[in-house]
Structure 1
Amino acid sequence: MEEVTEGVNNLQIADTDGHKKNRIQVSNTKKPLFFYVNLAKRYMQQHNEVELSALGMAIATVVTIAEILKNNGLAVERKITTSTVDITDESRGRPIQKAKIEILLGKTENFDELMAAAAAERELADGEEQN
């Protein structure tokens, strides 16, 4: 019975189109770094873990996001997967290979405490600004 419970707990939640609800596909051109950091925090609050995914040049951005979350005591590394994917180059019309990384991060034991402390700090700062 324990194995069944563990199996159910380890299931990946996916939408009907196969997109995981806790996956963030990072681009190094579309959004600023801290947009992704804050989004990852929100996903961890909702799902207890977040999967950061990137191709090519955006890999450095994903690693930076993961390191910021880890260094702030919010996340622990659960799994890192690297692979190569074939992508059609629109300008040339031929397939090219791109490096891909997926980093699965989980909440630390004191994640909720740290998030609550940060929220309280923001409220205090907002209160001081209004005075």
Structure 2
Amino acid sequence: MEAIVILTNSGEMKNVTNINGGDLEKEKKIRIQVSRSKKPLYFYLNLAKKHLKMDYDVELCALGMAIPTVIIIAEILKRNGWGIEKSIMASTIDAKEDKQGRVIPKAKLDILMGKARNADQSADQSTDASTSTEE
């Protein structure tokens, strides 16, 4: 079951459609397609954080040069205890044809983040407490 969620430029949900006709509450997954040049990194970070707080799973997707941006967003979410990584999928897609008719492959990265339920799941557990020594 897959849901299509259209996000406006302000990050609000505009239209929610369920392809298979099932209950949308069971799926609760939002796909955010990250661009390197259209919006700043913190736009996507705040959007992901907002949907994680509403108990949605967030799938961060990127092509080509936007991949480092997705990795940074996922690491910030983990470090601050807002989310955990559920899965990571790397692949290539056929992006477009050049002048000679050849298909140019592009790298694609999908990171599925879920809400961190407690301190044990988050990466927020710093080693500062364990490395402090009493003299």
Higher helix share: 1
| 2:109 equivalent in structure 1 | 101
Summarize deviations over 1:60-119 as a string: whole Å, max 9, x none: 000000000000011100000011000114x636421000000000001149xxxxxxxx
Partner AA of 2:94 in structure 1: D
| 2:70 equivalent in structure 1 | 62
Q: Is the 8 A contact 2:32 2:61 kept in 1?
A: yes
5+ long unaligned stretches in structure 1: 1-10, 112-131
Higher strand share: 2
Matching residue within 78, 85, 97 for 1:77: 85
Partner AA of 1:45 in structure 2: K
TM-score (norm 2): 0.64
Partner AA of 1:13 in structure 2: A
Q: Distance in 1 between matches of 2:29 and 2:78?
A: 21
**Residue 117 of structure 2 aligns to a residue in which SS?**
coil
Matching residue within 16, 24, 46 for 2:32: 24
Count of aligned positions? 99
5+ long unaligned stretches in structure 2: 5-16, 21-27, 120-135
